[in-house]
Structure 1
Amino acid sequence: MDKQMNGQQFKVTESSLLLAFLLQVVDRGRNYTKAILARGQVLVDGEVETAYNYALEPGQQVTILKQAPRTEKLNGVKILYEDDDLIVVNKTAGLLTIATGKDQQPTAYRELNSYVRKKNSANRIFIVHRLDRDTSGVMVFAKNEKTKHKLQNNWKQVVEERTYIALVEGEVKQTKGTITSWLKETKTHQMYVSQSTNGAKQAILHYERIQTNRQFSLLAVQLETGRKNQIRVQLAHIGHPIVGDKKYFSKSNILGRLGLHAKVLAFTHPTTKEQLRFEANVPDLFFQKSKG
């Protein structure tokens, strides 16, 4: 920690949760206060504290730094939010969520597990949902099994919004639409649209065209169901495969990656019941390649 960093110091005089205390002493609104917490600008007794529900006791000292201290950089993930139950991150394209088998390549899970264990060797994280390796954007991980199960078992109820941005091949004519399909998986783990409902899972998504030209279209996609490779399979099935998605019949690779980004994830916090909404900026190239 850089001891030369300037900051405001406050003495705790009565028991309080950290966020409530900060809202009193900072007086710049809830969003600003949560942001300085997430960026690591709040110290309690000299240690960075990001949990908004951290319990303060009389005699402790809270310091608010003018800028976040330098911390070890996480590879491929940027923390958007953290408390005692959750970590929300923006994952880069090319990083696996979790490895399969004994594969030792970098994953979002390994990065975050290492991060929480530096604070306490007993800490660990838990997978709640996944993004494909080449999909970037917002993901949530649990910091305990109770939170993991609350989120997974009630995913449809707690998630208010899941918006993806997809750069697809071709000019999408309709300004908006809904795609309903039945998906199955081959023995080689390839998903496909089945003409029969027998043994298949229903998949529903809604899309809205953002911009288009004759070669590419940019779509905002909202998932009603969360099936494996759902967006990739369903858009390919209507003749607009996602750019860079060779597995599902794309013929172009103008981005050098998959043209799919998880832009928004909004959900109800399983413990506090607070409404949380997180957004990860869409790569500029997505807009440039679909500009009319």
Structure 2
Amino acid sequence: MLALRFPNSSRSTLKRLVLAGRVTLNGRRVRKLTEGVRESDQLKVADRARPVESSDLLEPLERIFEDQDLLVVHKPPGLLTSTGPRETRPTALAIIQKYLAEHDRDARAGLIHRLDRDASGLLVFSKNELAYESLKTQFFRHTVQRIYLALVHGSPKPVKGRIESQLVEYADGTVHSTKATGRGQRAITEYEVLRVHRHVAEVRIRLETGRKHQIRAHLAQREWPILGDPIYGRKDSARRLMLAAVELQLDHPRTSERMTFRRPAPPELDELMT
């Protein structure tokens, strides 16, 4: 812990230094006093607070890629992607709008798709009208590939398959499959079991469509609810919804180059599978 490297400093003093942005660990700004420090690590305290860098404006989002047209970020669990005008809680869209206002004033953040609040993973935002129209068209035509990892209760059989149904949203905001003719939206989810450990399976999921709560509703419908799901799941010890968007493939709006963005599985998922 940080305090062990500075035994002659009070906790309040260390906290002020951290909050002021004066403490770095291996060149990276330290965010909390409890951050782990090894003997080989380079821990430095600056004489005065360093200037705020552009990447800091995106916190708690992590910037994965940015150019004149696109901004790809990693959203942590618990953060809304976007919401209505009366919402006071922070959202990924609001953070990006503020970031662009200070970093690239000619850019305009365009909301392309969403992740559930309790999920984590990759999100792409447009920065101009060209990119917005291109990305919206790609999502509409289902040419964007979205890959997720999830931990589910049980051991899905068959180990690889496709779930297709019409999803309808109820008044309470939950989503369920319906057999009623002409109701709901067509939803298609492809899945593959990667490994099973103690009645929990790690599942790779590819979305062909992107409906609200689609993955969660489809897996729960098969009696394989995602761990940590407060809406469609069971009571369990998972600290969060075990669902993460780990891969995003799309065509660049300006060059048409096929681009692939990936993130490793969150450590919480691996912890539960060992």
User: What's the TM-score once normalised by structure 2's chain length?
Assistant: 0.76
For these two proteins, the number of residue pairs brought into alignment is 222
Q: 2:130 aligns with which of 143, 146, 154?
A: 146
Partner of 1:178: 162
Cα offset for 1:188? 1.9
Take 2:262 and 2:118, find their aligned partners in 1: how far apart are those partners? 18
The one-letter code matched in structure 1 to 2:186 is: Q
Cα offset for 1:284? 2.0
Partner of 2:16: none
Partner of 2:117: 133
SS in 1 for 2:231: helix
The one-letter code matched in structure 1 to 2:68 is: D
State whether structure 2 residue 80 is matched by structure 1 residue 96.
yes
**What are the ranges of 5 or more consecutive residues in structure 2 without an aligned counterpart?**
1-51
Take 2:171 and 2:114, find their aligned partners in 1: how far apart are those partners? 21
Take 2:138 and 2:92, find their aligned partners in 1: how far apart are those partners? 23
The one-letter code matched in structure 1 to 2:271 is: Q
Q: Cα 1:71–1:127, aligned 2, differ >3 Å: closer, same or farther?
A: closer
Alpha-carbon contact 1:235-1:242 (below 8 Å) kept:
yes
Identity of aligned residues (%): 35
Cα offset for 1:160? 4.2
Partner of 1:107: 91
SS in 2 for 1:246: coil
Counterpart mapping for 1:78-89 below 5 A: 78-89=62-73
Take 1:265 and 1:120, find their aligned partners in 2: how far apart are those partners? 24
Q: 2:195 aligns with which of 211, 214, 222?
A: 211
Partner of 1:272: 255
Q: Cα 1:158–1:84, aligned 2, differ >3 Å: closer, same or farther?
A: farther
Q: Cα 1:289–1:250, aligned 2, differ >3 Å: closer, same or farther?
A: same
Alpha-carbon contact 1:159-1:265 (below 8 Å) kept:
no
Take 1:167 and 1:76, find their aligned partners in 2: how far apart are those partners? 24
Counterpart mapping for 1:113-128 below 5 A: 113-128=97-112
Take 1:92 and 1:257, find their aligned partners in 2: how far apart are those partners? 11
State whether structure 2 residue 268 is matched by structure 1 residue 285.
yes
Of 157-166 and 132-141, more deviation after overlay is shown by: 157-166
Partner of 1:190: 174
Q: 2:214 aligns with which of 230, 236, 243?
A: 230
Cα offset for 1:180? 1.1
SS in 2 for 1:231: helix
State whether structure 2 residue 155 is matched by structure 1 residue 167.
no
Cα offset for 1:234? 0.2
Alpha-carbon contact 1:182-1:201 (below 8 Å) kept:
yes
User: What's the TM-score once normalised by structure 1's chain length?
Assistant: 0.71
CA RMSD of aligned residues (A): 1.9
The one-letter code matched in structure 2 to 1:94 is: G
